Structure 1
């Protein structure tokens, strides 16, 4: 969690991670963002280790919440964290364990190891204030794929840690005080902010009032208004004014780049004083400065020593201070010059700016969303304005509708098997095994139907996929290690893509309920298994309900009950407003062209 300051009671709530210096929190590789922990391997490894220790040692406890309160410069500071493991030695010494999963046979980068060590010792420092016996820390490194364990005993310098913690608190408080001064300037700018045009168009006054009321009352709004009356500016003006005045973060979500450009243009109109910072996010593939997307410090100079270079070059502050409207090109050029990953820099900036313009995916896609939107994160300071919100229904379904194709599995087997090493043959066999599993399910489901292309709803044998998972996990890890050792990473690797699709499919099985259908399909010689999310409201609503307010804009939101339900808006907290079409009916011309076909197969011709 981010540090929480309460200036009225002079209370400051922190996590243990907040006490780590920022360079130690940032590295790019298999052990950090996008690495093994994101592959769900680390959690399983931790669980197996902890279960084993619970069985072996009666004193062992896992996932122990630790809290410590101290006074600093008039503030009451509460530090809280969760220790991976605690155990008691025969002499009474209390040992706190920090468990990490690491690459097999690989050396941890010094900055990463130091961050792990500091985290473990901070837990020991916290415990030392209430524990009468000696306290020490231990770093437990478990190799993925082999469960080989390295233990590093750490003797914390408690006085030195106390000094370091208070120095870090000084830094956090100074940064907060500086931000308070900037916030006061934004509050004043909000008072001066006026609508960017001398007159409003017909219908805009109603939009302004509806959005202002919804946000002030911490409610959601679905607003239907015809194209061309200026919905975007009429919604963004009151949303921005409130966000600046009340220290909220505004996210403008769109489905297309052209809509992002329009939103950015409106924000520029509203920021003539340069009172706030806006950021436009671009897709990762378009922000990669390397010759191939390979986010690991051993293979990409823009990932190497990422945290250290971020701290020493000052690139974040330089970008933030130089541009009121931060465009992808600004980030890319400055980050490339500083030799740090442009995409990661853009994500760092999204935590600093007041307004972020981005695709729906950065908020709602569970696999690529910003870390601040993860389950359980506090979004009470977030206002969402979603353009063309009716499109979010289809997007939401797509996020939770994975599929597996036997043809894709066979092609992965063919491509990787052609490379000829033992690991490649092992991958080939596994891919063919998966293809055979898919084909077998398709054959069972469609054996009684007519020949040709068909699709049916069919129960999927989940246990068969879970039995295949351990072999795929182990092979995937070995494959990454082989590629690391031989420096043979391939862009668009078919096995890597298949592996992630398989994990998404398993996740789809885990979250399936009455809102899902499991289907089997055979088309063009390819057997497919599909998980179809018919109603994404549970997942979209889990984000929307945590925000301060969410404003959905569209020209097509009828019937409102349909969209309110499928988008996950809370009925008692959501208003629907329809703006009457202000354009004169006599200006309309209706043209009927019977030559235009509406079937899907004719769409390219039209």
Structure 2
């Protein structure tokens, strides 16, 4: 029995038949077709077409190739069945004026020709007609192109397309055999740590049952290997096809890469790519993607398939350096090439946005409907809640329209008028708003924005004023993103306006609970594993990251000896605003001094804000001697300064080192300072986000929906920061350290409910007892 390789009609034609330059100056094209608004136009046209029109017709065809079967699938927008003819209708919603479309776009027509051949050959037709229907989405004006094709003409064309794709399908099939055979030979590369084997088994069972799993597991248990290894094994058993390892931070991507490299030492054949941001991998000084500015953009699509095939067949190493080498060799864009390579590899390591962000996701994988055999491994999953809210929210400022209007006034009367209408509508909302105001609908503004989009599209096509064009293009993308989100508004959103402190005025579509939107993408795969060292309470993360009721959850206890860690709760300090006095700042500084007195070493103090940090740092100056070195986190540190900050903890020295940092900042998670590099952390406060309009909107929303609004908006996100910062201290079985929780609120029931189980041995004390307690801990023999 020959193996089957599947591909959608759209992916086939867009991959094989693409040509020309990368040119992001053009607003028309494939991106716009992703707009949800286009689907609405499709449905409206389909309903108007009469009884002989059959909408959304699934089509499937199998083609015998050398050694395998190619399965081609798709869905025709419409098939018109009349007595004397059959017409395949392909609908495209566009924002540009129809006068600019003089003939069908080549890949659009190719898609229709595939459907025409599939239908004609299965129904034994000698000829068939193709109707390309373009609909202008503002005016709903329609322009059609009608052509007749013989079955022989379509067959010849189709055979050529399939022949060009055949080598890719053959590569895919042969590589899969090699890779899966190698998977069967690999074993878990280490002796299992306590809890690690059970964790790996839970991951495999979850994939087997095609479910989701939420894992709360402490740092040091080896979560990465305990998720990667069973997932790779599951692929070897045919339970999945491609792994997506998703994370929010660069350092965790490196850990994932290392896990795959470790398995490759056992002769695992696995192609793994880490996607690098465009700005970092671009060969040019500035990532300006058009053929005039970049030689690699010119003719990119004419050469990129050869570049990708060359790389894939030459090596298993899909590293950044290799991507860059082959991109230079074939003179193509390294970023766009890496996205194409991702289609053919076994595992993709990337940021969350490549999968979930509606404006940035990998359309190669997620623009088509239907289900694929993807396995999602989501690291540091606690970060996904806020990141997803950001991805599925959209905002516009009144000032954007006013600036644009002034820019084009005198240049284009129609566009100026549309901008003025939007500006006036925002002005009305601004007059109704004192601080912030919630709305149930802003449909009238969405209509005006649609009208504006059409004029922006026209202007951007016609103008030769490059500077004006660049500024308006930014507005165009903002409006487009807003309309995309507007089209998926549901009960999980809050629409609000806000008058900001600098008098700028904002209209926001705020995604409060992103679970439904995330499901849109997660449902394309077989299974999802969410894991983090701080996923408490699990119920909170389940509610905001998943819509399923039957999701699994695993709590893995810490494998480290409690005796190697001192947890101390200081009850005579508070970070409440009403208690923030010079005397209180002095007491926090004294706690730090007491710890340094008990044991020389490296420490980090985490504060609720830069202002709080500065106040305590000022008080600490009187304790600073030549035996104590202080380093302070600055706002907006560049990469060089971050590296220098962390390198300070690597140096051997006779003095103590104390780093002053902000909780929830760049140094409170994702850094790995093992053994003597960090022996203590001070958690100043409960990490609660600052009270602001958006947090209050969250609070009220969850209160209305029967949840504890304060916990969802403030307490849980805050305590996550605390747990993350505390997790910097004990990283390995050899580590010893102290964790001081400095706020009386840590003793309140609602905060203690979020404590990990292994925090049940905390000691309660005050500044008077802290130094003695820590000295006693350090005096113990291990």
Report the counterpart of residue 422 of structure 1 in structure 2: 411
Matched, 1:205 2:194: no
How far did 1:143 drift? 7.7
How far did 1:551 drift? 1.3
Matched, 1:156 2:144: no
Report the counterpart of residue 235 of structure 2 in structure 1: 243
Deviates more, 1:92-101 or 1:563-572: 92-101
1:391 to 371, 383, 393: 383
Deviates more, 1:269-278 or 1:118-127: 118-127
Give me the whole-angstrom Cα distance separating, in 1, the residues matched to 2:261 and 2:220: 20
Deviates more, 1:253-262 or 1:368-377: 368-377
Give me the whole-angstrom Cα distance separating, in 2, the residues matched to 1:375 and 1:245: 27
Taking structure 1 as reference, are residues 322 and 269 closer, same or farther at Cα in structure 2, changes over 3 Å only? farther
Are the equivalent residues in 2 in contact too, given 1:465–1:506 (CA < 8 A)?
no
Are the equivalent residues in 2 in contact too, given 1:201–1:229 (CA < 8 A)?
yes
Are the equivalent residues in 2 in contact too, given 1:379–1:547 (CA < 8 A)?
yes
SS of 2:505's partner is strand
1:440 to 428, 437, 456: 428
Report the counterpart of residue 519 of structure 1 in structure 2: 496
Matched, 1:464 2:441: no
How far did 1:583 drift? 1.9
How far did 1:24 drift? 1.0
2:401 to 388, 396, 409: 409
Give me the whole-angstrom Cα distance separating, in 1, the residues matched to 2:344 and 2:448: 43
Report the counterpart of residue 505 of structure 1 in structure 2: 482
Deviates more, 1:393-402 or 1:154-163: 154-163
Are the equivalent residues in 2 in contact too, given 1:66–1:123 (CA < 8 A)?
no
2:172 to 179, 185, 189: 179
SS of 1:326's partner is coil
Deviates more, 1:504-513 or 1:527-536: 504-513
Deviates more, 1:59-68 or 1:243-252: 59-68
SS of 1:514's partner is coil
Taking structure 1 as reference, are residues 195 and 375 closer, same or farther at Cα in structure 2, changes over 3 Å only? same
Taking structure 1 as reference, are residues 262 and 15 closer, same or farther at Cα in structure 2, changes over 3 Å only? closer
SS of 1:156's partner is strand
Are the equivalent residues in 1 in contact too, given 2:79–2:89 (CA < 8 A)?
yes
Give me the whole-angstrom Cα distance separating, in 2, the residues matched to 1:71 and 1:577: 45
How far did 1:240 drift? 1.9
SS of 2:531's partner is strand
Taking structure 1 as reference, are residues 42 and 221 closer, same or farther at Cα in structure 2, changes over 3 Å only? closer
Report the counterpart of residue 356 of structure 1 in structure 2: 348
2:254 to 252, 255, 261: 261
Deviates more, 1:225-234 or 1:592-601: 592-601
TM-score by length of 1: 0.80
Give me the whole-angstrom Cα distance separating, in 2, the residues matched to 1:157 and 1:163: 10
Report the counterpart of residue 335 of structure 2 in structure 1: 343
1:455 to 424, 436, 442: 436
How far did 1:339 drift? 2.7
How far did 1:97 drift? 4.4
Give me the whole-angstrom Cα distance separating, in 2, the residues matched to 1:266 and 1:465: 50
Are the equivalent residues in 2 in contact too, given 1:93–1:133 (CA < 8 A)?
no
SS of 1:550's partner is strand
Give me the CA root mean square deviation: 3.9
Are the equivalent residues in 2 in contact too, given 1:221–1:577 (CA < 8 A)?
yes
SS of 2:423's partner is helix
Give me the whole-angstrom Cα distance separating, in 2, the residues matched to 1:191 and 1:24: 37
Report the counterpart of residue 304 of structure 2 in structure 1: 310
Report the counterpart of residue 564 of structure 1 in structure 2: 542
| Structure with bigger RCO (C-alpha 8 Å, 6+ apart) | 1
- Over residues 39-76 of structure 1, what are the superposed CA-to-partner deviations in whole Å (9 max), with x where a residue is unaligned? 56766776787677x4xxx6863646264767747988
Unaligned segments of structure 1, at least 5 residues: 1-6, 447-453
How far did 1:346 drift? 1.4
Matched, 1:190 2:183: yes
How far did 1:26 drift? 5.6
Give me the whole-angstrom Cα distance separating, in 1, the residues matched to 2:395 and 2:11: 39
How far did 1:581 drift? 1.6
Are the equivalent residues in 1 in contact too, given 2:57–2:77 (CA < 8 A)?
no
Taking structure 1 as reference, are residues 501 and 305 closer, same or farther at Cα in structure 2, changes over 3 Å only? same
2:311 to 308, 312, 319: 319
Report the counterpart of residue 129 of structure 2 in structure 1: 136
How far did 1:244 drift? 3.6
Give me the whole-angstrom Cα distance separating, in 1, the residues matched to 2:611 and 2:399: 23
Report the counterpart of residue 449 of structure 1 in structure 2: none
